[in-house]
Structure 1
Amino acid sequence: MSVEAAKNARELLLKEYRGVLSTHSKAMPGFPFGSVVPYCLDEQGRPLILISRIAQHTHNLHKDPKCSLFVGERGAEDVQAVGRLTYLAEAEKIDDPTAIEAAAERYYRYFPDSQNYHQAHDFDFWMLNPVRHRYIGGFGAIHWVDQLTLANPFAGKAEASMVEHMNADHGKAIAHYVELAGLPKTEPALLAGIDTEGMHLRIGQSLYWLPFQTPCNTPTQVREALVFLAHAEHWPKNPVAGA
């Protein structure tokens, strides 16, 4: 497995925010059962999902937690020429109240409407603990990836503080990021999350992950990266992408 494959697979997981969750069918033993789920990544870089207790895939996971999440690049004319990832995992329901609170705080920033049905209906947070991954980066670029996840050093209060500050006081900078990245201007963008390698902007119901020029491991480095981008004339190429 190459470092390049792991990085590209992780960036695909960050860029996309919905995939096909395949579980072992309880009603039809021996058959896989696929369903579409939105996700964001938790503090360890694992997919975090919010699913209904009455959903078929939830019943399936209670019987057998082994599952996979398939994620592919959207909008491609030739789906076999672009990246796709099969994330093999064991699903785990989050029961600890503190962990549930942390999961909700981050998930709601990515999917604000989920707060309404989570509180009104029987939904639970589950995380997908990684087992192994199959990443295809295009024709002939096929890899088994064992180590894909990357912990987010900002998860929790640090990230929430940075996100709230940017959204409250630096709307012009965020609008500039949208302009640089060529994102839709249908609605004002909001910062949804920050990780070591980039940031997520939310525009309406859509999420966009934008990479930093170099990885950021401290809040100071994040601030420097955001200030740099606020004054940039074009989105910088990421020299570590594919490295």
Structure 2
Amino acid sequence: MSVHVAKNARELLLKEYRGALATHSKAMPGFPFGSVVPYCLDAEGRPLILISRIAQHTHNLQKDPKCSLLVGEREADDVQAVGRLTYLAEAEKLDDEAAIAAAAERYYRYFPDSANYHKAHDFDFWVLKPVRHRYIGGFGAIHWVDQLTLANPFAGKAELSMIEHMNSDHTKAIAHYVELAGLPTFEAAQLAGIDSEGMHLRIGQGLHWLPFAATCNTPTQVREALVFLAHAEAWPKKATTEA
């Protein structure tokens, strides 16, 4: 399997922000239980979810942490002709205060309204620790992917500093990224996250991941990519990587 396949599968996980969570039913033993959850990726590149303690899927995970997250491309005319990913995982509830604080800081950027019900109600952060993945890139493009996740080299202070700087000082550049990518313009976009492969924009309640042309491993490389895009006339094509 090529590195390109794993990259395509990871990009699907990066850009969708929602999926169908399948757990083992506690109330109906032997039956799978499906539910919809929003997510963002944590510092290690794993799906991070915020779920209620009274929800059925939470009771299921407390009894059996084995689960899967199905992620597919939105707005597809033919769902069988586009990419989808089944992310097999072991769910783990975050209990460490530092880990919870880091998760909250990240998750609230993507889903600002979650701060209200997280603090007012009984919700907890869970991370989906990867076991294996089944990626289908279209008709006939079917692969098992063992290693998919990629740690975010900027997670923490570096990422937050870049985000705050862009949102406060470079709103015109962000508006240009929106225009280049053909994204909705009904509300000003805000940068919600940066990873080595792209940026995450929030427009209203919607989230959009835009890829960089090449992988960025340092803040300097991110800055160069953002400056380049601020002056680009079209979104650059991504560099491809083969095994």
Query: Does the 8 Å contact 1:7/1:242 carry over to 2?
Result: no
- Displacement of 1:43 after TM fit? 0.4
Structure-2 residue corresponding to 1:112 = 112
1:54 corresponds to which letter in structure 2?
Answer: I
TM-score w.r.t. the length of structure 1 is 0.99
- Displacement of 1:31 after TM fit? 0.2
1:237 corresponds to which letter in structure 2?
Answer: K
Query: Does the 8 Å contact 1:8/1:242 carry over to 2?
Result: no
Query: Does the 8 Å contact 2:3/2:241 carry over to 1?
Result: no
Matched, 1:203 2:240: no
Q: Aligned with 1:137: secondary structure?
A: strand
Q: Deviations over 1:172-215 (max 9, x none)?
A: 00000000000010100000000000000000000000000110
Matched, 1:156 2:156: yes
Query: Could you tell me how far apart the structure 2 residues matched to 1:167 and 1:104 are?
Result: 19
Structure-1 residue corresponding to 2:84 = 84
- Displacement of 1:3 after TM fit? 1.3
Query: Could you tell me how far apart the structure 1 residues matched to 2:30 and 2:165 are?
Result: 50
Query: Could you tell me how far apart the structure 1 residues matched to 2:203 and 2:241 are?
Result: 25
Identity of aligned residues (%): 84
Matched, 1:98 2:98: yes
Residues 138 and 83 (structure 1), Cα distance of their counterparts in 2 relative to 1, 3 Å cut: same
Q: Aligned with 2:138: secondary structure?
A: coil
Query: Could you tell me how far apart the structure 2 residues matched to 1:182 and 1:241 are?
Result: 26
- Displacement of 1:69 after TM fit? 0.2
Q: Aligned with 1:118: secondary structure?
A: helix
Q: Aligned with 2:165: secondary structure?
A: helix
Query: Could you tell me how far apart the structure 2 residues matched to 1:232 and 1:122 are?
Result: 46
Matched, 1:237 2:237: yes
Structure-1 residue corresponding to 2:45 = 45
Query: Does the 8 Å contact 1:8/1:241 carry over to 2?
Result: no
2:169 corresponds to which letter in structure 1?
Answer: D
- Displacement of 1:42 after TM fit? 0.3
Q: How does 1:1-243 map to 2 (within 5 A)?
A: 1-240=1-240
- Displacement of 1:240 after TM fit? 2.4
Q: Deviations over 1:8-28 (max 9, x none)?
A: 000000110000000000000
Q: RMSD value over aligned CA atoms?
A: 0.9
Extract unaligned runs of 5+ from structure 2. none
TM-score w.r.t. the length of structure 2 is 0.99
- Displacement of 1:241 after TM fit? 6.6
Query: Could you tell me how far apart the structure 2 residues matched to 1:23 and 1:2 are?
Result: 30
Query: Could you tell me how far apart the structure 1 residues matched to 2:144 and 2:104 are?
Result: 31
- Displacement of 1:242 after TM fit? 7.2
- Displacement of 1:239 after TM fit? 1.5
- Displacement of 1:95 after TM fit? 0.4
